[in-house]
């Protein structure tokens, strides 16, 4: 298991890849809905969850800049997300969830958002 460090993009990238490749992942309703629309160009149809995960893995493996995005107000109060923007201006926001205490779900990668960035490159 990679070191858990909320401000270490290298450790986060390694752990996210481990979780995605181990099939320990989930989508927010928004990420699933918007991702199917945003990634339609990739398959000329709505991609499956597995295909969207494959896309995310390919981005993580490509070593795009992984930016730390503290969530909540004040920043970081609801955790840390990790963001990447690909060459097509697609923004992917990920979190590492779970893993705390016996009653909580084991650690998993959570796809919080996949959509076209509103910030032009």
**Residue 72, domain member (yes or no):** yes
* Range of lowest pLDDT (10-14, 53-57, 86-90, 97-101): 97-101
Using CB atoms within 10 Å of the CB of residue 100, give its burial: 0 to 12 exposed, 13 to 18 middle, 19+ buried: exposed
110 upstream amide cis, omega within 30 of 0: no
**Residue 42, domain member (yes or no):** yes
More confident residue, 100 or 76: 76
Model confidence at 102: pLDDT above 90: no
**Residue 4, domain member (yes or no):** no
If you average pLDDT over residues 78-86, what whole number do you get? 92
> Which two structure tokens, joined as six digits, stand for 90?
């697609």
Q: Domains in the chain: how many in total?
A: 1
**Residue 3, domain member (yes or no):** no
Q: What is the structure's pLDDT at 49?
A: 97
**Residue 100, domain member (yes or no):** yes
**Residue 121, domain member (yes or no):** no
If you average pLDDT over residues 85-109, what whole number do you get? 83
Q: Report pTM.
A: 0.86
For tokens 């992984």, the residue is 66
**Residue 2, domain member (yes or no):** no
Q: Predicted confidence band at 4 (pLDDT cuts at 50, 70, 90)?
A: very low
State the DSSP string of 71-88.
Answer: -TTTTTTT-EEEEEE-TT
SS (H, E, C) 90-105: EEEEEEEECCCCCCCC
Separation CA 70–CA 7 (nearest Å): 9
Asked if 11 and 4 count as a contact pair (C-beta separation under 8 A), the reply is: yes
**Model pLDDT for residues 9-47, shown as the tens digit of each residue:** 999 999 999 999 999 999 999 999 999 999 999 889 999
Separation CA 113–CA 83 (nearest Å): 9
**Residue 33, domain member (yes or no):** yes
Residue 15 belongs to domain spanning:
9-116
Q: What is the structure's pLDDT at 118?
A: 78
Asked if 57 and 20 count as a contact pair (C-beta separation under 8 A), the reply is: yes
Q: For 28, phi and psi rounded to 5 degrees? A: -75, 160
Identify the CATH number of the domain in which residue 44 sits.
Answer: 3.30.2310
């Amino acid at each position: 298991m990679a070191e858990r460090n909320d401000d270490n993009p290298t450790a986060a990238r390694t752990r996210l890849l481990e979780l995605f490749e181990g099939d320990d992942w989930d989508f927010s309703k928004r990420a699933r809905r918007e991702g199917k629309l945003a990634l339609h160009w990739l398959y000329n149809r709505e991609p499956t969850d597995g295909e969207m995960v494959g896309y995310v893995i390919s981005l993580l493996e490509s070593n795009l800049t992984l930016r730390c995005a503290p969530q909540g107000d004040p920043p970081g109060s609801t955790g840390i997300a990790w963001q990447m923007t690909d060459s097509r201006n697609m923004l992917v926001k990920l979190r590492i969830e779970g893993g705390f205490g016996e009653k909580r779900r084991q650690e998993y990668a959570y796809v919080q958002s996949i959509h076209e960035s509103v910030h032009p490159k």
